Structure formats: structure tokens, C-alpha cells
Structure 1
Amino acid sequence: MSTADVVRAASRHKQATAELTNAAFIRAAGAWKKVNPGSIVSSWQILSTSVIAALMVAQSRSVDSADTTLDLAFNEQNIDPIDARIRKEAIVGTMPATGATLDAALAGVAYHALDHIGRGYSTNEAMQTGMVELSKLVQYGIADAGRASSQIRIGSARQKVGYVRMASAGCCARCSVLAGQYYAWNTGFLRHPHCRCVHIPARESMADTFATDPYEAFDALSAAEQDRIYTKAGAEAIRNGADMNQVINSRRGMTTSGRFTSEGVTKRGYFRISSDAGRAGKRRLSVDEILRRSGQDKTRFVSLLTEYGYFV
């Protein structure tokens, strides 16, 4: 057995979770489409029974799949678990991140749809928002079941064990820079709707073995995919050597106009202490604004990226 076997097992778990989620959502979406618009709550209460059953089966299988991956990872790294496998009943039938029961979470979809109608949405619009909410609940409910089981087993190991985040090829920009990073066992798993990243349990001394290079993942994409995932301006900056973390993180603090960003501008922020513009007290231009100001002049584009702290 090797670390490659562990990565392959994690990939299989990720694929299994995706398939379980897709099948469960097809069942959930089919039931939601049958809801009587004139009696949303009561009709959904009946229809959601089969959805809850399907979700519980998917959650159970997700926990089993996660356990298989952890068994391989523990064995490969000589990690001695206390074997504190969580009782499935503690997870299955709940939304693991919040502790809410599945029936309560799904009932909320109907009540929220009614609330939207009360606020002026058309019935069709309200039902569409319900479908979106249902999609998120299904995805979170299944993926978080496996994650919760993994976190408990990782935290109960006799040695100090954390996890490395494994992301998919073509994942979102935020996940790409988190991929391969090591986290303590009790660090929350950041995710977004349809996030399929998974834990790979690892001792800190072994974390680099499972690390993935976000730049290699970026280079493996076509230019069109790079532009789609990282934005046209962001992808162009990365292609020209800008630091991926600076480029991606800068989008968190962008102003409504898109011209500036507040990322790194505090007294100890990277922009403020390490760039010419920051030390001069200037507002930090966003990558999008830098691209706009540069026009077709690549030399000016790189010069402004450097001035505003996008090279590390």
C-alpha cells in the first residue's frame, strides 16, 4: 500500500459522494415538483417522507465510504486509532453541520417558499427558490455526514492527526488555494454549495505527501477554463506570475464598483507593508481594475500588479 492508494481511495469516496448526492437530488427534485402550489406545506409534508428515507440511505453509505478511506489512511501512516467509529444514528437523519433533523430541515423548504410568496414572489419563483434550497440541503446533508464521521475518527486517534484538504480538478478558485493545506482535526471544513473537497487524514509530518500544487492544477486547465474559474483578470494575472493567493483573496474585499479591494490593507497586511503602493498609503487596486487600466499593454499590467502587491 502507498500514499497513492490513499489518494485513490479519497478520490473514490469523493466520486461515491457525488453519485449518492446526484441520485438523492433526483428523488428530492421529483418530489418537490409534485407539491401542490395551493397547499405547499401539507403536500410537501407527505411527499418529503420518501426524500428523507433516500437521504438517510445516502448518508449511511457516505459514512461507510469515508470509513473505508480512513482505514486505508490510518494503516498507511501507522496511525493508531481508538477506533471510535461514530454510531451512524448520531449522524444519519440529521444535518450534521447544524444538528437539525432532516424532517425539520426539509419542512423549512416549504415554509420558506410560502414566505417568498408573502413577500411578493410569484408561486413559480417561490417554488424555484425552494428547489435551489433543496439542492443545497441534499448536498450538505450527504457530504457533511462523511465529513463528520471522518472528523470524529481523526480527532480520536492516539497520535496527533489532522487532515489535508483534497480538491477536484477544475474546482473553484477558493478551493484551489486551500487544496493540500494541513489543518488541525478540529478546524472547520470550509465549503460552499456543491463543494466536493474531502479530508485526507494525515499526521503533520506526512502532510506534504498528500499536498497538491494549485499552480499545477491551474496549468492543467485550458485558458478558457482558467478564465471561467479564476475570472479573466485573475487568470491573466496568474499566467503572468502573480501570486495565486493574493489574486484570489483580493476578490473578498472588492468594492461594489470592482475598482478597489480591502484585502491586505490593514497595518500588518501584506499590501500595506510589502508593496510600493501600500507603503505610499494608496488604495489597493483590484486585479480587474489593473487589467482595465493596462489595456493591451502587458508590461504595464505586470508593473501595476507588482506595484499593488500581487507578486510575492
Structure 2
Amino acid sequence: MTRGLVAAIQAIWRTLSAATIADDLEGEAGARILTAVVGGQLTVAEGAQAYVRAAMAAQDGSAIPEALLVAEAFTGVAPDGGPLETLLYVPAIGVQRRLAAGMSPDEAMLGGLADMARYAATAVSDTARSATQVAMAADRQCVAYTRIVQLPACARCIVLSGRQYSYSEGFLRHPNCDCLTVPLRRGEWAGVDGPDDLYGRMSEAERRRVFTVAGAEALEGGADMGQVVNARRGMSEAHVHGRRLQVTSEGTTRRGLYGRRVRRAGGEFARAPGQRYMRAQTPRLTPEEIFRVADDRAEQLRLLRRYGYIV
């Protein structure tokens, strides 16, 4: 999925110029990249509920969830909850900064492509994890998930491999993180590799690259991996910054998925300075924020329905 998306972005990027990159990403080329990434988000979101249903069935459960996931509700949103199109314009700024720093146009564009590929891949991966977590909440059989780490991986992810979390607990990740989740029924535990198993499969060179030379030497000497690696450094739960409620503007126009619900309920709309469309004045919570503030599964499902993520 990600490989095909990056290939599509590369094909579009090859037609662009460093001299006109800002106009290009605001115009047709930018729209084509946005369409490709939104398509990737829709694909992974559509597959999330089928994945959870298959996992429950494989653990001798039912394949029938309590609510149905609305895949379109997860598209067009960046990992920080803002508009995806804004995130996908940032590489243009990066190209301009590289040019100003003295890089050649080719070097600046190569760096911009790397930025765009990273943002696109992270957006799709975060969509998959967010949709999967909502799908887990929509199936009362699912009570937890296990984190699956695939090599090659960074030290921050390796130390979390095999850990089990409540279905509603946020997924710790960083840009380009490709860790997976396995939904679990009560009493089930998947036989996955833990930190020590993964470490044992790594070459000496890979250990030194991932944990640093000093860290690898400390681990060889019997040091505790959790002490050597600060598992949370540089990682955060998506859309959670301190105690603030995190919202998204995606789908809040009059024609948007959430906006249509607000309009039917008699809600108010307004246009902020510089914005093209009027948006609902009632904030739309992100799925991650709903899981953080809701007290139980019934409240989670109520809020997920209210904000258009399930029906």
C-alpha cells in the first residue's frame, strides 16, 4: 500500500520544478498528490473493520460488530488533526529553504520528495491505526491489542514489542513508524516476539545502529533494555497535547460528513478569516481524543457516532 503510494507521488514529483514548487503544490499537481494520499487513507480505513472482524473470528468469536465504521470519516486528516492538504504543502516550504541555504535545485527537490513521501506514508499509517482502534471499540468482544514490531525498527519501538494494551489506549508512534496491532479477545495472547527476541535476531551492526555503540555494549553487559532506551522519547499519542481537547476541521463544512449532521441539528456555521468555506462552530473531536476523555465503551460509542466515525 505505502510503496505504491510513494511510487505515485514520485511520478508526480518528477514533473515539478524547484522554481515553481509553491505554485505546483497549490495547483493541479498538489491536488493529484492529495487525491492519492486520500485514496490510501480510504483504502486502509475500509479494511480496518474487516481486519478486526477476522481477528475476532480467528479467536473463536463472532464476526459481527456492534457498529459499522464510516471509512470516509478518516480521510483528509493529517496526523495532528489538521487538514491533510496543509501538511502536504509543507514540502514546498522545505524546498524553498534548501534553495535559500545554497543547495542546487536537484538537491532541494530530492529533499522535498523525501519529506512528501514521509508525510504521506505517516498519514496513511496513522489513518490505519486510528480506524482500527475505532473498529475495535465497535466490537465489544475486543478488549485489548498487542503491539507487533517488524524489523528493521528503532529502539523506541523494539522495547515496546509484544506489549498488551487496552483497546482504547492510544498507540505510541513516531513518524514512519510501521508497527502493527493485533486485536485480542479476553484471555487471548498472541505469541509475538518481545524486545529480547527481536534483539537476538539483530546483527551486531544493526544493534549498534539502533541502540548506539554504547547502548549495545551496555545491553551485551546485561543492562536492562528499558533503562537503556527511553521508550517514550520523541513519541506521542496522536492528537493529544497536554490536557487540551484535540479537534479536527476535516468534514466540518456544510457539505462535510460531520457538517451535514450539525446542519440537520440546527448548528451554526461561520467563515474564519482567510478560509474559503464556512465551517461548523461545534468542534469535532478526533477519535483519539474521544478515547482519552470517554469513561467507558458505551460513552466511546456514543461520541464516535456523534462525530460521524461509526453508524
- TM-score norm. by structure 2 comes to 0.65
1:202 counterpart letter in structure 2: L
Partner secondary structure for residue 196 of structure 1: coil
Cα-to-partner distance string for 1:268-302 (whole Å, 9 max, x where unaligned): xxxxxxxxxxxxxxxxxxxxxxxxxxxxxxxxxxx
Among 141, 161, 164, which residue is 1:179 paired with?
161
Counterpart contact for 1:70–1:201, Cα < 8 Å: yes
Change (3 A) 1:201 1:186: same
- The CA deviation at 1:219 is 1.0
Structure 1 spans left out of the alignment, 5+ residues: 1-19, 254-312
Instruction: Tell whether the 8 Å contact from 2:141 to 2:186 is kept in structure 1 after alignment.
Output: no
SS of alignment partner, residue 86 of structure 2: helix
* Contact 1:24-1:51 within 8 A present in 2 as well: no
Q: Deviations over 1:165-203 (max 9, x none)?
A: 111033211111111111223322222232211111124
Q: Which moved more, 1:184-193 or 1:169-178?
A: 184-193
Separation (CA, whole Å) in 1 of partners of 2:64 and 2:138: 7
Equivalent position of 1:219 in the other structure? 200
CA contact (8 A) 2:66 2:140 kept: no
Partner of 2:180: 198
Residue 231 and residue 112 in structure 1: after superposition, are their counterparts in 2 closer, same or farther (change >3 A)? closer
Task: After TM superposition, give the deviation of residue 137 of structure 1 in Å.
Answer: 1.2
**Partner of 1:161: helix, strand, or coil?**
strand
Aligned equivalents of 1:158, 1:66: Cα separation in 2: 15
Written as runs of structure 1 = structure 2, the 5 A alignment for 1:48-87 is 48-77=30-59, 78=61, 82-87=65-70
Instruction: State whether residues 56 and 92 of structure 1, in contact with CA within 8 Å, keep that contact through their aligned partners in structure 2.
Output: yes
Partner Cα distance (1:249, 1:200) in 2 = 24
- Quick check: 2:98–2:108 contact (8 Å CA) kept in 1? yes
SS of the aligned residue for 2:162 comes to coil
2:46 is aligned with 1:30: no
1:235 aligns with 2:225: no
Partner in structure 1 of residue 256 of structure 2: none
Contact 2:133 2:167 in 1 (8 A): yes
Q: Which structure is richer in relative contact order (CA contacts within 8 A, separation 6 or more)?
A: 2
Residue of structure 1 aligned with 2:75, choices 89, 92, 101:
92
Say which is worse superposed, 58-67 or 176-185, in terms of deviation.
58-67
More helix by share: 1
| Structure 2: distance between partners of 1:47 and 1:209 | 44
The alignment covers a number of residue pairs equal to 231
Give unmatched runs, 5+ long, in structure 2. 235-311
**Which amino acid in structure 2 is aligned with residue 92 of structure 1?**
T
Distance in 2 between residues matched to 1:252 and 1:52, nearest whole Å: 30
Out of 210, 225, 228, the position equivalent to 1:244 is 225
- Higher-Rg structure is 1
After TM superposition, the structure 1 = structure 2 runs for residues 253-264 of structure 1, keeping only pairs within 5 Å, are: none
Letter in 2 for 1:84: A
Alpha-carbon distance between aligned partners in 2 of 1:81 and 1:217, rounded to the nearest angstrom = 35
- TM-score, normalised relative to structure 1: 0.65
Q: CA RMSD in A?
A: 2.8
Give percent identity, aligned residues only.
29
